[in-house]
Chains A and B, each alone.
Chain A
Amino acid sequence: MRTDPSDAADVNADVDASGPAPVSTVLAEDDVLLREGLSGILERFGFPVAASVSDGDALLAAVAEHGPGLVVTDIRMPPGFTDEGLRAAVRLRRERPGLAVVALSQYVELSYASDLLDSGDGRGVGYLLKQRVGDVREFASVLRRVAEGATFVDPEVVRQLLRRRADPLARLTPREREVLALMAEGHSNGAIARRLVVGDAAVGKHVGNILAKLDLPPDDDVHRRVQAVLAYLRGRPA
């Protein structure tokens, strides 16, 4: 995407002209500066902001009012400054299957990721560190993937998972874990192959091995991928 050395006007024109269809978005973030900045990014990359709010209850109300296709929410918001945004997101996903939700947080916590991914069918969910918005294009592309039904988990979460030892995922080879990590970031087989600089067939084989090793029943492929990621996240001893 970034290889095109076009100027700014061209970038906008590119997004506006040939980009995918706009997705109506509700934004929840209590910090004014960040809210304004996020609004700008969303608008610019084809996510018209139907409403921007600053707490969990207002988020629920705004979604009920505007019926957006995507929700971008901070996890920690007034009044309690704990996980209001997360709870609102989980509730929205239960009540509105198919609503894509991206949750942002200053730090990542595995149990938050599990909650989010457990809500609904585990598709159309993103959980990432707030600072990822700094890489604007990548952030926009994550939003796009999630809006299209992909699951995205922050690389930091994946890194924490990989650091674990006593883990049912220990059966996976390092390469398979790498592939699973990329799956958790919502990449397709083709995208994974490009990233790892291997052939599509090799990736397909890895994914098959992963699914087999995690004892996932044969099913719709996308759903199984999500299941694999969920297993990944739930695989914590406790």
Chain B
Amino acid sequence: MTTFDALASPDAPSGDDRREGFRENPRRRPRTLFQALLSPRFLLTAWPWRALAHSVNTMFVGWALAAVAMPVYLPWVVFAAMLATRPWDTLPAVSMTAVFVVGLVMVVVFTPLIALPLGALERRRLPLVTRGPFSSGHRPPPPGLWGWVRTRCTEGATWREMGYAALLMPFALAVTMVLGALFSMAIVMAVGPVLVSQGGEAEIALGLTTVTTPEEAVPYMLLSPAVLVVLLYASGILAQGHAVVARALLVGPPKDELRAELSQVTESRARLVSAFEYERRRIERDLHDGAQQRLVALSMDLGLARLDMEEGSEADRRVAAAQAKANELIDELRELVRGIHPRVLTDRGLPAALAELADRCPVPTRVDTDIPRRLPAHVEGTAYFVVAEALTNVYKHTGADAAAVHAGTASGGPGRPDTLLVEVTDHGPGGADPARGSGLTGLRDRVAVMGGTMELSSPEGGPTRIRVELPCGPIPPTPLT
């Protein structure tokens, strides 16, 4: 970006505008103040008046800001006054230091308190002279005063707003002087003949010349609309400059912050996936060490009790029935635990777990794996659930009488992690629609989080093939481009 582009960019024509830009098409209504200023029809649009309105209330805001900020800077003003008015050697060092430090504390504490509401106010005034969006760059703070303070003090938006507050005071002064001078000049020129004729010996200074007679004043009177035009342009240029600076400092988040936020979101999504994986394992472990062991102990106790009972007696039958129920519960719990996280996956890795999946699938399934080493837990987990879901689909929806699972690792090339390729094929009738089944969408999401890809090919008449590629490195921080 050139400097000019940087300054102009907020209101610069977008790509769209450039193609059919206002230069090529002067009839087109300028859509921004910047476009309007470059247009010969500037004065015929609403923009000069909007800019003027903005400039006028900039003056009010600037002076109100000065009034509010003055007490904050009072200690430093006093400090400066003392330095200026008394000789060096007569200054009381302790008092001077105290005044300076008090001033520093006040500036540090109160400037943000002034700058933050000022920023909010200025963002509300911006629509007068520039187009949106006008979102603030502030992050939503955590609850509580301390959370608010910490968030506000550590984010760039606050500091940019403080910079804006510091710039606004001199800028408002400049606007007041320029527009005030032009305005009073126009007025005096307009009423010049009347003033001169009434005053008798009056002299009116107009710029470099002085008029003393109505005849001399009349040409100036005729020129006064031109001064008003200059005033409108001046206010337009000032408002445009103001808008560029205000947008740069008050409106956010800028692109790099957005990008940082996006990568944070992706990272946290990846962390969530890891956390889910970890939680599943934890739940599996807790059930194994807790409920399952307790139930086995219960069944064992019932069995021991039966040893001491007369076989076939009422009590024995009841205890036997209770024991049978406990065993059913153990079976059910075992199936549940397998669904949460299959132990064999943790203990034996993907090949054993896939073979077991195939064993359990009602559709005869051939598995061949070429995985020479253990893969990261999240890769194994995702691949396992992809195959589990795919085989469930084969069984429930296709009516295929055979399926095949292939899983193998491939080298990812220099500097890149290996890739795990998983393919599930069935010779069913085909025609699977990924948009219909939420199962397939869920799989795609799961794979996408890890930076992997999933392809489904299912022509009418079959075969249906789900092909998933998973990078075997750590979960990528930014899979989005």
A136 touches B289 (CB 8 A): no
From B288, B293, B323, B365, A34 is in contact (CB under 8 Å) with B293
A131 touches B296 (CB 8 A): yes
The count of A-to-B residue pairs whose CB atoms sit within 8 angstroms is 108
CB of A215 closer than 8 Å to a CB of B: no
Bound form: Cα–Cα A130–B481 in Å:
51
CB of B338 closer than 8 Å to a CB of A: yes
Bound form: Cα–Cα A34–B304 in Å:
12
B307 touches A33 (CB 8 A): no
**Given known contacts A81-B285, A110-B356, A136-B304, is B337 in contact with A37 (CB within 8 Å)?**
no
CB of B366 closer than 8 Å to a CB of A: yes
Contacts of B306 in A (CB 8 A): 136
Shortest distance between the CB of B328 and any CB in chain A (Å): 10
Contacts of B355 in A (CB 8 A): 110-111, 236-238
Contacts of B337 in A (CB 8 A): 106-107
A82 touches B359 (CB 8 A): no
**Given known contacts A11-B307, A41-B300, is B369 in contact with A238 (CB within 8 Å)?**
yes
Bound form: Cα–Cα A215–B289 in Å:
43
Bound form: Cα–Cα A137–B351 in Å:
37
Shortest distance between the CB of B8 and any CB in chain A (Å): 65
Contacts of B303 in A (CB 8 A): 133-136, 139
Contacts of A221 in B (CB 8 A): none
CB of A40 closer than 8 Å to a CB of B: yes
Closest 9 CB pairs of A and B: A134-B299, A165-B364, A136-B303, A8-B308, A134-B303, A33-B297, A37-B300, A31-B293, A131-B330
**Given known contacts A131-B299, A134-B326, A237-B366, is B304 in contact with A83 (CB within 8 Å)?**
no
A-B contact pairs, 24 of them (CB 8 A): A5-B311, A7-B310, A8-B308, A11-B307, A33-B294, A33-B297, A37-B300, A41-B300, A81-B285, A106-B296, A106-B343, A109-B348, A109-B356, A130-B296, A131-B331, A133-B299, A136-B303, A163-B359, A163-B360, A166-B365, A236-B359, A237-B367, A238-B351, A238-B367
Shortest distance between the CB of B59 and any CB in chain A (Å): 74
CB of B372 closer than 8 Å to a CB of A: no
> Which residues 299-352 in B have Cβ within 8 Å of A in the complex?
299-304, 306-312, 323, 326-327, 330-331, 334, 337-338, 343-344, 346-348, 351-352
Contacts of B352 in A (CB 8 A): 109, 111
Closest B residue by C-beta to A238:
B355
Total A residues in contact with B, Cβ cutoff 8 Å: 40
Interface centre among B299, B300, B309, B310, by most chain A C-beta atoms within 10 angstroms, is B300
CB of A164 closer than 8 Å to a CB of B: yes
For the complex with contacts A109-B347, A133-B303, A237-B367, 9 further pairs of A-B residues with Cβ separation under 8 Å are: A33-B293, A106-B293, A107-B337, A109-B348, A134-B299, A134-B327, A166-B364, A237-B366, A238-B351
Contacts of A107 in B (CB 8 A): 334, 337-338, 343
**Given known contacts A111-B352, A136-B304, is B297 in contact with A160 (CB within 8 Å)?**
no
**Given known contacts A164-B359, A166-B364, A238-B368, is B296 in contact with A109 (CB within 8 Å)?**
no
CB of B292 closer than 8 Å to a CB of A: yes
Q: Which residues on A are within 8 Å of B, measured CB to CB? A: 2-5, 7-8, 11, 31, 33-34, 37-38, 40-41, 44, 76, 81-83, 106-107, 109-111, 130-131, 133-137, 139, 160, 163-166, 236-238
Closest A residue by C-beta to B404:
A166
From A8, A31, A111, A165, B297 is in contact (CB under 8 Å) with A31
Bound form: Cα–Cα A11–B348 in Å:
43
A133 touches B300 (CB 8 A): yes
B307 touches A166 (CB 8 A): no
Contacts of A44 in B (CB 8 A): 307
Contacts of A2 in B (CB 8 A): 311
> Which residues 336-392 in B have Cβ within 8 Å of A in the complex?
337-338, 343-344, 346-348, 351-352, 355-356, 359-360, 364-369
Bound form: Cα–Cα A38–B334 in Å:
21
**Given known contacts A5-B310, A81-B285, is B348 in contact with A136 (CB within 8 Å)?**
no
Shortest distance between the CB of B370 and any CB in chain A (Å): 11
From B288, B294, B296, B307, A133 is in contact (CB under 8 Å) with B296
Bound form: Cα–Cα A3–B307 in Å:
13
A8 touches B296 (CB 8 A): no
Bound form: Cα–Cα A191–B415 in Å:
62
